[in-house]
């Protein structure tokens, strides 16, 4: 594996940005885990990928497509169970002022 790339100060800084409180033991533990992950990435960088085509997905299967067509919604059946409704819509409490 490679030398340490992420020091304790950087782990603390990232935890602060993420607003995560961590003990010193946790900071050290996560710092070690991040450095291990970066070590694996370094190992992957050693591979010769000259003849490997770039890929967007790990499998070669295509996303199945279907015809885009209009269909009848659930309409009145669903709205009949709504605690509150307004015309054809669910009415929900306001959550943002």
pLDDT tens per residue across span 28-38 = 999 999 999 99
End-to-end CA distance of the chain: 52
- Write down the pLDDT at residue 3: 64
- Write down the pLDDT at residue 1: 46
CB-facing half-sphere around the CA of 41: CA atoms within 13 A:
8
Give pTM, 2 decimals. 0.50
Contact 31, 11 (CB under 8 A): yes
76 vs 8, higher pLDDT: 8
Q: How many residues does the chain have?
A: 97
Enumerate domains of the chain plus CATH numbers: 8-45 (1.10.20.60)
pLDDT digits (tens, 9 = 90+) for 37-86: 999 999 999 999 999 888 877 887 777 888 899 888 777 888 888 899 88
């Amino acid at each position: 594996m490679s030398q340490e790339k992420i020091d304790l100060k950087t782990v603390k800084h990232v935890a602060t940005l993420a607003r995560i409180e961590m003990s010193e033991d946790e900071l050290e533990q996560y710092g070690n885990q991040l450095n291990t992950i970066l070590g694996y990435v370094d190992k992957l960088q050693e591979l010769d990928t000259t003849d490997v085509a770039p890929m967007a997905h790990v499998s070669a299967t295509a996303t199945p497509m279907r015809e885009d067509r209009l269909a009848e919604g659930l309409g009145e059946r669903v709205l009949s169970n709504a605690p509150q409704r307004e015309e054809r819509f669910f009415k929900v409490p306001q959550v943002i002022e």
